[in-house]
Structure 1
């Protein structure tokens, strides 16, 4: 389609989520969701044209959108390293030093793997300014090893399923966490609303500290549904139960959350 004819609700890509249920689902993402996400992530990770990013996420995972589109938007440098090289911590750390990489945004299992043994201690990694992660729970023990090594870097916990084109919450680590503490997923990104409901779809407010419920997400970043699967789409993308005045879709994450103080 000619660029002039494109509209922002058109489909940009379909990404398949993991087949943990047996059958992978194709998540349909629109141009507007990726544009919205790109604007948000450049702000959260403070990415500008001076930055160098090192990509670890294969392009068939939604998290790779963060590296690709943010670099294109601000004119940052994106380094793409073959995934198998991440098995060798020394090679990765040498590369970071040599190319003066400033920003990494990887999955916690990679960050955990890289700090096994003492490879991290052999490198100063002075250029690294921002370290973020997404897609899994970050073991606080891993965070503390990295934090103790890189005293000046900023550490950011990101959260967001494939169904919302990227990240919907973030938490900048702003205090010490004990090794056995859970990291918060943080607050909503700009232009995103988080809603929590109990199993009977009663709304749980931010004042109800510690009360568990399921997380629902609202905003431009919502996917256009599962490709060629109306049934699954209708189960996961539901009308906001707080009103019935107009179409107002929420994505049902399946993740259980609670507000802390």
Structure 2
């Protein structure tokens, strides 16, 4: 009898972060012999970001469990329709419906402190007028993004932010992969970047298996890597 290959966990970071935010989670998964890929998320727009992540998934020989943090949740909801995706894991994430934007989803609930603490800047867009991107104000970053992470670490994260194209908040999702894939979701109970009610609503709507970590900040993958990795391991075991 042949055994199915262990699914590869593909970890998709969100806005204002990079793949290094998964470092602790990656170490935990590798310690349990789970293959991992943590690609860069371009953060230039939902359709283009999802297309890039789908191309990464397509290069993997075998089943994939897609994991998305924050905005990365919207990305995996679109990219997760790839044939070899067998599960979705949302970590303090937006779980978008087809035809829905991030702005529409979070607009159903009181806005988080993030909204009033964004810096805007322009960047050149090929063949078009300059586009707008956003970052979190450095002085507000620790409380909003990573309140349960050591101060020395948050100071580094604040100046290493990767901006998100502002258009990502209004672009609508072309698919909702959770309709045809099993899903899991981790809610960060003390999230100040995404209202936890937004995370709970999306996870319940998707019929996800939900875990909530009380007191966890938006940077839950940094502050609580063992718990995040355990949920991913559960998804991998179920899909393997």
Scaled to the shorter chain, the TM-score interval is 0.3 to 0.5
- Structure number with larger C-alpha Rg: 1
Larger RCO (alpha carbons 8 Å, 6+ apart): 2
Choose between structure 1 and 2: higher strand proportion: 1
Q: What's the TM-score once normalised by structure 1's chain length?
A: 0.35
Q: What's the TM-score once normalised by structure 2's chain length?
A: 0.38
Choose between structure 1 and 2: higher helix proportion: 2
